[in-house]
Amino acid sequence: MAKVDTSLVAHLPLFAGMTPEALDEILREARSARYPKNSAMQGADAQCFFLLLHGHVRAAKTTPAGEQIVVRYVTPGETFGLAMAIGAARYPATAMAVDDSVVLIWPTSAWPRLVERFPALAANTLQTVGTRLQESHTRILEMSTQQVEQRIAHALLRLAKQSGKKLDHGIEIDFPISRQDIAQMTGTTLHTVSRILSGWESQGLVESGRQRIILREPHKIVVLAERSADSGAA
């Protein structure tokens, strides 16, 4: 269990307002682990919670019938698997590394003690969860009021903002993502996603391939995203 360099994580929102000593004490309870690309990261029982240091993780929720939606993509610096903080004994979603990933892991059992000793942990986590709640509401709003094309545009712009790699001309989404994944983020089918991306590609808005998407004209995609349902006249 190699010691984690505190300076790497001190600036994260989770640890806002903490003394170096406190941080040190918290990190002493964690271990780190590496997950290879495409490996599952958790069982059904919520025995651990995670902080992603490197890589990308996909959190997905599954229906009884086996259909999936992508809850979110976790980027470095973010926590996930916080079931216990919200009083759940089982994870409501499954996590999978979409890239080779490195995480810090705490046992769920440590959470109550840590919160007691460092109340800022609860306050900081509340802030994070609150932000996610608002994002969820935004997503519900989009699904209720926008056409598929607008939803896909918004989803890609969000991914680009969150995990975009600036290129000479455009922004590349920095991890492998398929048409199917985008469909599961926007409530549609991979076929429709494929058709729309093909359309955009022929207009030069994007460039894409197998699990790879580059936004070539982000600004034009913003315009698309904001176009309301009935303002689409050419």
Partner DNA sequence: CGATCGATTGAGCCCTCTCAAGAGAGGTGG
Partner DNA sequence: CCACCTCTCTTGAGAGGGCTCAATCGATCG
Q: Given the complex with its own copies, which of 8 and 140 has the nearer CB atom?
A: 140
Residue 220, binding choice from its own copies, DNA, none, Cβ under 5 to 8 Å by partner class: none
Q: Could you give the CA distance from residue 2 to residue 31 in angstroms, rounded to a whole number?
A: 8
CA proximity to 218, closest of 176, 173, 187? 173
Q: Given the complex with DNA, which of 156 and 197 has the nearer CB atom?
A: 197
Site membership for DNA, residue 148 (CB under 7 A)? yes
Residue 109, binding choice from DNA, its own copies, none, Cβ under 5 to 8 Å by partner class: none
Q: Could you give the CA distance from residue 219 to residue 216 in angstroms, rounded to a whole number?
A: 9
Residue count of the chain, please give it: 234
Site membership for DNA, residue 169 (CB under 7 A)? no
Site membership for its own copies, residue 20 (CB under 8 A)? no
Site membership for its own copies, residue 85 (CB under 8 A)? yes
The one segment of 96-104, 128-136, 190-198, 219-227 that binds DNA by CB under 7 A: 190-198
Task: Compute CA distances 176 → 41, 180, 187, 208, 209, whole Å.
Answer: 17, 11, 19, 11, 10
Site membership for its own copies, residue 187 (CB under 8 A)? yes
Site membership for its own copies, residue 203 (CB under 8 A)? no
User: 85 near 125, Cβ under 8 Å?
Assistant: yes
Place of tokens 């992508």: 70
Q: How far is the CB of 50 from its own copies (least distance, A)?
A: 16
Q: What is the CA radius of gyration of the chain?
A: 19
Residue 134, binding choice from its own copies, DNA, none, Cβ under 5 to 8 Å by partner class: its own copies
In a 13 Å sphere around the CA of 178, the CA atoms on its Cβ side amount to 9
Q: Given the complex with DNA, which of 126 and 229 has the nearer CB atom?
A: 229
Residue 134, phi then psi, degrees to nearest 5? -65, -40
Q: Could you give the CA distance from residue 49 to residue 79 in angstroms, rounded to a whole number?
A: 8
In a 13 Å sphere around the CA of 85, the CA atoms on its Cβ side amount to 23
Question: Which residues here bind DNA, judged by CB under 7 A?
Answer: 147-149, 178-180, 187-192, 194-195, 197-198, 201, 208-211, 229-230
Residues that bind its own copies (CB under 8 A): 61, 63, 65, 67, 69, 71, 82, 85-88, 92-93, 115-116, 119, 122-123, 125-127, 129-134, 136-141, 143-145, 184, 187, 228
